[in-house]
Amino acid sequence: MAIKDLANGRGTASDAGGGGGGGGDVKAHFVFIPMMFQGHLIPAVDTALLLATHGALASIVVTPSNTGRVRPAVDFARKSGLPVRLVELPLELAAEGLPHGADDVDRVPPDLWANYFRALARLRAPLERHLRAHAPYPTCVVADFCHPWARELAASLRVPRLCFFSMCAFCLLCQHNVERFDAYGGVAGDDELVVVPGLERKVEVSRAQAPGFFRGMPEFEKFADEVEQVLAEADGIVTNSFLEMEPEYVAGYAEARRMKVWTVGPVSLFHQRATTLASRGNTAAIDADECLRWLDGKEPSSVVYVSFGSIAHAEEKQVVELGLGLEASGHPFIWVVKNADQHGEDVAEFLRELEARVAGRGLLIRGWAPQVLILSHAAVGGFVTHSGWNSTVEAVTAGLPVVTWPHFADQFLNAKFAVEVLGVGVDVGVMEPVMYRLDQKEIVVGREVVEKAVRSIMDGGDEGEERRRRARALAAKARAAVEEGGSSHGNLLDLVKNFEFKVGAGCDAIA
Ligand code: UDP
């Protein structure tokens, strides 16, 4: 199997600031194994780069079709002198019955997801060989929770293993509690709401909204058990959140899991310093300068940004309802229309006509948007989001109120967190999940609901002002968390210290 150590084109570990087997001028060596979905990959890369700013070598494992998605940020970091390596490992697609190109998660057919996860597990042996062959020896593996095979890797290397999540501790604790206290036991149906046990606050959720990681799909039942077991045995958790936003849930989750939780977010703030705001994930479908020029022409806090992340995409009739709702709201908007090319001619024509009607007021981005660049512009005043965690924490970082429109996975719990706990959101009222490319529900949210929700975060009267005030206060806390003396800054330093090179370091390296 061909493996490329991409960042080390000229050779040795010291090219990446690595030094010899003892670590040279780097203090630790973290091996990041992200899941290749962009909502997992982007924050894992940001976290790796943040650790590198504190003197640790970060090796980031990618599969070939994802290299281009992380390359700009990594190249920028390397040019700034940060010790970062990109390790590209091809997936053995044919061996798991996957078609050519299925290395790109966007191109994995839904019925072959289990095969995709098996193909990922095959990375273990070649990755181990690579790590043994390239000094310095790792001091810690940081693997996405979707990679249970990382347990064997870390055990064989005799190094500690941390589980990486881009989720809030609130979501992790709710999910853990409904499972460990069997809250769904005896419910009449998947849509029945239960109170999440073990929290001071009353939070209600249904099995349909929060089934648990990989639960509810018969072909993944065994895998789900393995994911839980491997998580329970981790040496700690690293997550894209920050302590001041949710201290009781961070403490609660650490206690429930009996392990340390390092909150290191908001990790997107790495890019405030690195001016790579516009190059996270896919190549943007709009030029960053064009986007900024458009925003520069708008009043402060007047524009609503609408995006549903990297996976969810709307059915045709839903696209039309959403577009009409945005038009009726009267507010300037940027709308990221994913998979626009997959819709029929009717929708394409609807979008063209809408664009003409709202010319100057509405900007449609067909494809990938430079999201954090947009969110951090002063003209943006609100975010209609699918409540993916990264989008939620990016909204918090920008001090923006949100309309929450969850689709699946952790999004329902994130939406509850934004609306009920943080008090910065208005929910559109979706109760059931729409699974990616599996369900074909046409209209989930009507145009009037969209219009009303947008108006309430953008105009909103006293309540709206209060939401905006809370959002801004949170943004100030987010920034303080990553600055020197802040909790996330401290946790990054603590990670480097805990996993630094030690003579004879092994699995007992955690202080
Ligand atoms: N993102 C982006 N441009 C897009 C769509 C998404 O930059 O057009 C980024 C977004 O900033 C976030 C990530 O992709 O960092 C999406 O993660 P999230 O957890 O919000 O949602 P997911 O894609 O996992 O559903």
Burial (Cβ within 10 Å: 0-12, 13-18, ≥19) of residue 62: buried
Q: How many helices (H) and strands (E) does the chain have?
A: 18, 16
Pocket test for ligand 1, best of 311, 390, 411, 412 (most atoms within 8 A of CB): 390
263 CB less than 6 Å from ligand 1? no
pLDDT band at residue 276, thresholds of 50, 70 and 90? confident
Paired tokens of 276: 């790579």
Position 24 scores a pLDDT of: 53
pLDDT band at residue 10, thresholds of 50, 70 and 90? very low
**388 C-alpha vs ligand 1 centroid, how far in Å?**
7
**504 C-alpha vs ligand 1 centroid, how far in Å?**
40
369 CB less than 6 Å from ligand 1? yes
Picking from 260, 255, 263, the residue whose alpha carbon sits closest to that of residue 176 is 255
Enumerate residues 6+ apart whose C-beta is below 8 A from 189: none
Please give the order of strands across the beta sheet that includes 402-404. Answer: 362-366, 333-337, 303-307, 380-385, 402-404, 425-427
Burial (Cβ within 10 Å: 0-12, 13-18, ≥19) of residue 215: middle
Position 132 scores a pLDDT of: 98
Q: Which pLDDT tens digit goes with each residue over 327-351?
A: 999 999 999 998 888 888 999 999 9
397 CB less than 6 Å from ligand 1? no
How many of the other CB atoms lie within 10 Å of CB of 162? 27
- Using the atom order of ligand 1, give the atom closest to the CA of residue 368: 8
**310 C-alpha vs ligand 1 centroid, how far in Å?**
5
Pocket test for ligand 1, best of 308, 310, 394 (most atoms within 8 A of CB): 310
Position 340 scores a pLDDT of: 80
The span from the CA of 381 to the CA of 378, in Å, is 8
Atom 16 of ligand 1, nearest CA residue: 39
Position 313 scores a pLDDT of: 78
242 CB less than 6 Å from ligand 1? no
pLDDT band at residue 7, thresholds of 50, 70 and 90? very low
SS3 44: helix
456 CB less than 6 Å from ligand 1? no
Catalytic annotation on 40?
yes
How many of the other CB atoms lie within 10 Å of CB of 109? 12
Rg of the chain, C-alpha, whole Å: 22
Atom 3 of ligand 1, nearest CA residue: 369
Q: Which domains does the chain have, with CATH numbers?
A: 4-166 (3.40.50.2000), 276-479 (3.40.50.2000)
Picking from 409, 407, 410, 408, the residue whose alpha carbon sits closest to that of residue 428 is 407
24 CB less than 6 Å from ligand 1? no
Q: Can you tell me the mean pLDDT for 376-393?
A: 97
What φ, ψ does residue 335 adopt, rounded to 5°? -120, 120
Q: Can you tell me the mean pLDDT for 189-211?
A: 95
How many of the other CB atoms lie within 10 Å of CB of 124? 17
Atom 7 of ligand 1, nearest CA residue: 371
Enumerate residues 6+ apart whose C-beta is below 8 A from 298: 332, 379
Position 1 scores a pLDDT of: 47
Position 440 scores a pLDDT of: 58
The span from the CA of 333 to the CA of 360, in Å, is 10
Position 3 scores a pLDDT of: 52
313 CB less than 6 Å from ligand 1? no
Burial (Cβ within 10 Å: 0-12, 13-18, ≥19) of residue 130: buried
Residue ranges in 297-437 assigned as alpha helix (H): 316-329, 345-357, 371-375, 389-398, 411-416
Q: Which pLDDT tens digit goes with each residue over 20-65?
A: 333 458 999 999 999 999 999 999 999 999 999 999 999 999 999 9
- Using the atom order of ligand 1, give the atom closest to the CA of residue 37: 24
Mean pLDDT value across the chain: 90
394 CB less than 6 Å from ligand 1? yes
- Using the atom order of ligand 1, give the atom closest to the CA of residue 375: 11
The dihedral through the CA atoms of 240, 244, 245, 246 has a sign that is positive
pLDDT band at residue 320, thresholds of 50, 70 and 90? very high
What φ, ψ does residue 239 adopt, rounded to 5°? -145, 150
Paired tokens of 45: 């890369």
Position 460 scores a pLDDT of: 75
**235 C-alpha vs ligand 1 centroid, how far in Å?**
28
SS3 4: strand
* Residue from 5, 46, 103, 144 carrying the catalytic annotation: 144
Q: Which pLDDT tens digit goes with each residue over 143-197?
A: 999 999 999 999 999 999 999 999 999 999 999 999 999 999 989 899 999 999 9
pLDDT band at residue 8, thresholds of 50, 70 and 90? very low
Position 433 scores a pLDDT of: 84
Helix (H) or strand (E) holding 70: helix 64-79
* Residue from 5, 29, 40, 130 carrying the catalytic annotation: 40
The span from the CA of 164 to the CA of 142, in Å, is 6
Q: Which pLDDT tens digit goes with each residue over 452-462?
A: 999 999 987 89
Position 342 scores a pLDDT of: 82
The span from the CA of 240 to the CA of 45, in Å, is 11
Paired tokens of 429: 């009222």
**349 C-alpha vs ligand 1 centroid, how far in Å?**
27
CB neighbour burial string for 5-21, b if at least 16 within 10 angstroms, e if fewer? bbbbeeeebbebbbbee
Atom 24 of ligand 1, nearest CA residue: 39
**335 C-alpha vs ligand 1 centroid, how far in Å?**
14
pLDDT band at residue 9, thresholds of 50, 70 and 90? very low
What proportions of the chain, in percent to the nearest 5, are helix, strand and coil?
A: 45, 15, 40
